Structure 1
Amino acid sequence: MELEITGEVWYWRGPAPHHFVTVPPTQADEIHDVASMVTYGWGMIPVRLRMGATVWETSLWPKDGGYLVPLKLAARRAEDVEVGDVVTLRLELQPERGRRTGR
């Protein structure tokens, strides 16, 4: 499954601070429909992610019935992305990564 989402970059200051984009509700519902086939546990969804010209693998984090997309520092630097910027992300759900872990 491939999805394109657009959202604002925000910063979470928790014990492990990180930058995220929240998956919009419509796309979160689409992901939820296939989540049991792609999760590797704890509701984490493996994805191949593209932001601009930068591509990497990560996992969507479940949160309050939806999902968060973590944006790694190297990708934000490569694309000159800051808190408050609106970005378009292409997500490719990767069920084979979930199955490889044996969970």
Structure 2
Amino acid sequence: MSWTFDAELFRWDANASWFFVRLPQELSDEVRDSLTGPPGGFGSVRVEVRIGASRWATSLFPEKSAGAYVLPVKKAVRAAEDLDDGDLVSVEIALEQA
């Protein structure tokens, strides 16, 4: 199962080095409903991701305050795709096959 969406890249905290995109609530619900087994630690969901020409495996994490999943975007991807805080990002995710 795979999905494509656009979301704003944001820094987790003003002093943090972590950057994320937030999945839309409807998409987060679809991902949750598509799980065939229990989530991983901290409610994480293993996914394969594509942003531009960059592809990698990571996890989605539930964000309790918003009820949606967030996707970490590592520094190497941000550099390769010339992304910065506040940029609109086109993301493709696919649930990792068990």
Pairwise same-fold verdict (TM > 0.5): yes
RMSD of aligned Cα (Å): 1.8
CA 1:39–1:25: 2 relative to 1, 3 Å: same
Q: Counterparts of 1:28-43 in structure 2 under 5 Å?
A: 28-35=28-35, 37=37, 39-43=39-43
Superposed displacement of residue 17, structure 1: 3.5
Select the structure that is richer in helix: 1
CA 1:51–1:38: 2 relative to 1, 3 Å: farther
User: Is this contact kept in 2: 1:39–1:95, CA < 8 A?
Assistant: no
Q: Deviations over 1:2-61 (max 9, x none)?
A: 011110000012886400000001111101112352622321000110000000111001
Name the CA distance, whole Å, in 1 between partners of 2:12 and 2:20.
8
CA 1:14–1:88: 2 relative to 1, 3 Å: same
Name the CA distance, whole Å, in 2 between partners of 1:33 and 1:18.
27
Letter in 1 for 2:60: L
Q: Counterparts of 1:38-53 in structure 2 under 5 Å?
A: 39-53=39-53
Paired residue total: 96
Q: Counterparts of 1:4-83 in structure 2 under 5 Å?
A: 4-13=4-13, 17-35=17-35, 37=37, 39-64=39-64, 65-83=67-85
Q: Deviations over 1:49-101 (max 9, x none)?
A: 000000011100111221001000000000000001000100011141xxxxx
Letter in 2 for 1:24: P
CA 1:41–1:16: 2 relative to 1, 3 Å: same
Structure 1 length-normalised TM: 0.84
Specify the SS of the correspondent of 1:28. Answer: helix
User: Is this contact kept in 2: 1:51–1:89, CA < 8 A?
Assistant: yes
